[in-house]
Chain A
């Protein structure tokens, strides 16, 4: 979205459009970004389209956030929530250059604290490696996620339950999601980019399911 700015030392490619204008694309590293890994693992529908408002829990230094910001474009909005100070510093620097990213340095467990900053969102992405991350996601969704909204949750089996085998953990997370009015639609394990990881995509309070993005 911001031409010429590299966020984390990635490479970029300049491509010529049909009308002669040049477009700059940044390469999305699947080893650094789980969303990229999920896309490469052939997920059916990530659920984000240009113009969306996205709430991103666990934004980290902003690597994936920057790519999501590129996807939603200037009409959309990314609310990036990150609790760690060090990471947040990088996030803020990145947000300074991108006007569609709103950095929120708060604990995602208490959406109350940032509810005045966030409006209604279309998608929630959650990348918090906590045992009760589904609960956090559900709480945030009840505040901010619109009906028929989409979500993506990245599950690190070792963080949720280090003793159980990953498949069991993923299954348990699915059950938890169903209990919280989520409807998981797709799951993508992130091999070979990350081990014991899986990304679950789905909808919230969904009545009709239709494919949103590509």
Chain B
């Protein structure tokens, strides 16, 4: 009986010398404990080495599917005459039986035999040491895994990211060089810069012409249009530029060559980018176009990363600065980022750009996921969705037409009241209206000198952030206010009226957009009862004008003598009153 054993180096065929041992499965392992006893049981009959890794890979992949490769078949045919073959894989055994008419055996005993063989493999196969097996195993495993993962070099999105980066770089460089040519040649022929607007044409012209005296004789028809050519020839005669030597001209010509070469390369790169985009992300390309798609991928870092983003993120990718600014200042967030340059958005009317941008972003996110994680490589899904979006655009346009032509009784659109929204159109951020504190008028009665001092100091320090040392009832309100504070840009801590080493908590004052009333707990060690009701009156009058009266309860004369409302609070309230009245 023969045993077929696969190794990373090749196929091994062992002859079982003592078949009786196989009946005693339990003790079989004893025979393979040492190499000598193992050699009593089996002997290497033949070994078929893999020629190279490709052969090994193909043989291994076929074996995974329980199919014998051609090499294996040949090997078995040569050496396996008339004997039964013990195999580890019963399906393989069946296949071999079918194709080669060799009887195959597979049972527990065979498995134990295999185990033993594996133990003593290096001993039994002379010329195959562990050191040789290891790198072969490594190489084969890497090839196999790559095959398994269908690692296709076509689908690497790093190429896209690099290509688009290079495209941008090239554009910059091209522009720089072209400007340089203009400047340099302008020393000799300044008028040309105004006549020929396009950079490439300029370079070609300079290359052709060299010295401007040649302009009259040469024919520029391939490079320039007729009128421009005429202008050029005129200007060449009456130019006020200086003469330059041939050596200088040669150098300028070299630069022109560079410019032209670069622009050619740029065109080539653009083509390459387009073809890659179509291979890697066909659906994305179908929806937004190659350039925008490539930029999105580059922005996201990789196609897979991009696929993890929701549609809303895809919509504003590229407008992060505007987005976070708007979020911080509670303005309207931008409607589109990189996706603005997609042709679908370009087609839409300005009023509809926002809507289309949202729909497009949603479908784009789907397309990206399909490209990144799906199996197919066709763009059918992208094209379908594009058609849907175009249809939607038509519908929206139709509605717009109807509306502009329709009833409209001259009333302005009633907007939903949103207490948090600032007035501002779309992506524009209107600066917040700030309250001019110098316009403050204190209507309150005479205050104590300390409070006065505190007041003036507080006037000067316009933005103050407090940490109240002792908070009691105001705690909750302050919490509220503190949440607002987090979004504020400036903050200072002010200490006022240090009396007997007590820390006072000054009122937080912010210029911008404070909606809620801060709880305050400025503490004066020596406050009088008299001042308390007075101060309370002040704020209370102003309070009534507020829409929010969160601090109503806290402004009652507190039993705790140390708590008191300060003027700063009233000032703040005045500010807020103004803002609230704005009704934004």
Contact call A143/B118, Cβ cutoff below 8 A: yes
Could you tell me the distance between the alpha carbons of A95 and B145 in the complex, rounded to whole angstroms? 11
Q: With A113-B64, A116-B6 known to touch, is A88 a contact of B29 (CB < 8 Å)?
A: no
Chain A: CB-nearest residue to B111? A142
Chain A: CB-nearest residue to B122? A119
A147 at the interface (CB under 8 A from B): yes
Contact call A119/B118, Cβ cutoff below 8 A: yes
Chain B: CB-nearest residue to A82? B145
Contact call B114/A117, Cβ cutoff below 8 A: no
Residues in chain A within 8 A of chain B (CB atoms) = 77, 85, 88-89, 92, 95-96, 99, 102-106, 112-113, 115-120, 142-144, 146-147, 205
Contact call A147/B29, Cβ cutoff below 8 A: yes
Partner of B141, one of A102, A115, A147: A102
Residues in chain B within 8 A of chain A (CB atoms) = 6-8, 29, 33, 60, 63-64, 88-89, 111, 114-115, 118-119, 121, 130, 133-134, 137-138, 140-142, 144-146, 148-149
Contact call A143/B115, Cβ cutoff below 8 A: yes
Chain A residues closer than 8 Å to B118, beta-carbon distance: 119-120, 143-144
Of B8, B141, B149, most buried by chain A (CB within 10 Å of CB) is B141
Q: With A113-B64, A119-B118, A119-B133 known to touch, is A104 a contact of B144 (CB < 8 Å)?
A: yes
Partner of A102, one of B7, B114, B137, B148: B137
17 A-B contact pairs sorted by A residue (CB < 8 Å): A85-B149, A88-B148, A92-B146, A92-B149, A95-B142, A102-B137, A106-B64, A106-B148, A112-B89, A115-B114, A116-B6, A116-B7, A119-B137, A142-B111, A142-B115, A143-B111, A143-B118
Contact call A88/B145, Cβ cutoff below 8 A: yes
Contact call A103/B119, Cβ cutoff below 8 A: no
Contact call A103/B142, Cβ cutoff below 8 A: yes
Contact call B121/A105, Cβ cutoff below 8 A: no
Chain A: CB-nearest residue to B64? A113
Q: With A88-B149, A105-B148 known to touch, is A112 a contact of B142 (CB < 8 Å)?
A: no
Could you tell me the distance between the alpha carbons of A167 and B181 in the complex, rounded to whole angstroms? 81
Main SS of the interface on chain B?
A: helix
Could you tell me the distance between the alpha carbons of A105 and B143 in the complex, rounded to whole angstroms? 11
Chain B nearest Cβ from A107, distance in angstroms: 10
Contact call A104/B114, Cβ cutoff below 8 A: no
Chain B residues closer than 8 Å to A147, beta-carbon distance: 29, 33
Contact call A92/B8, Cβ cutoff below 8 A: no
Chain B: CB-nearest residue to A112? B89
Chain B residues closer than 8 Å to A77, beta-carbon distance: 134
Chain B residues closer than 8 Å to A118, beta-carbon distance: 137
Could you tell me the distance between the alpha carbons of A39 and B278 in the complex, rounded to whole angstroms? 51
Main SS of the interface on chain A?
A: mixed
Could you tell me the distance between the alpha carbons of A115 and B140 in the complex, rounded to whole angstroms? 12
Could you tell me the distance between the alpha carbons of A89 and B156 in the complex, rounded to whole angstroms? 13
Could you tell me the distance between the alpha carbons of A112 and B93 in the complex, rounded to whole angstroms? 13
Partner of A116, one of B8, B119, B130, B146: B8
Chain A residues closer than 8 Å to B134, beta-carbon distance: 77
Chain A residues closer than 8 Å to B137, beta-carbon distance: 102, 117-119
Chain A residues closer than 8 Å to B33, beta-carbon distance: 147
Contact call B8/A104, Cβ cutoff below 8 A: no
Could you tell me the distance between the alpha carbons of A157 and B60 in the complex, rounded to whole angstroms? 36
Could you tell me the distance between the alpha carbons of A85 and B304 in the complex, rounded to whole angstroms? 14
Could you tell me the distance between the alpha carbons of A125 and B119 in the complex, rounded to whole angstroms? 19
Contact call A92/B60, Cβ cutoff below 8 A: no
Contact call B141/A143, Cβ cutoff below 8 A: no
Contact call B121/A119, Cβ cutoff below 8 A: yes
Chain B residues closer than 8 Å to A143, beta-carbon distance: 111, 114-115, 118
Chain B: CB-nearest residue to A89? B149
Chain B residues closer than 8 Å to A146, beta-carbon distance: 119
Could you tell me the distance between the alpha carbons of A144 and B111 in the complex, rounded to whole angstroms? 11
Chain B: CB-nearest residue to A139? B111
Of A85, A96, A102, most buried by chain B (CB within 10 Å of CB) is A102
Chain B: CB-nearest residue to A101? B138
The 5 closest A-B pairs by CB, nearest first: A116-B6, A105-B148, A105-B145, A102-B141, A113-B64
A-B contact sample (5 more), CB < 8 A, given A99-B138, A115-B88: A92-B142, A103-B142, A117-B8, A142-B111, A147-B33
Chain A nearest Cβ from B305, distance in angstroms: 13
Chain B residues closer than 8 Å to A89, beta-carbon distance: 149
Chain A nearest Cβ from B532, distance in angstroms: 54
Chain B: CB-nearest residue to A113? B64
Q: With A77-B134, A119-B137 known to touch, is A103 a contact of B121 (CB < 8 Å)?
A: no
Q: With A117-B8, A119-B137, A143-B115 known to touch, is A105 a contact of B142 (CB < 8 Å)?
A: no
Chain B: CB-nearest residue to A92? B145
Chain B nearest Cβ from A170, distance in angstroms: 29
Chain A residues closer than 8 Å to B8, beta-carbon distance: 116-117
Chain A nearest Cβ from B218, distance in angstroms: 59
Chain B nearest Cβ from A17, distance in angstroms: 28
Contact call A103/B145, Cβ cutoff below 8 A: yes
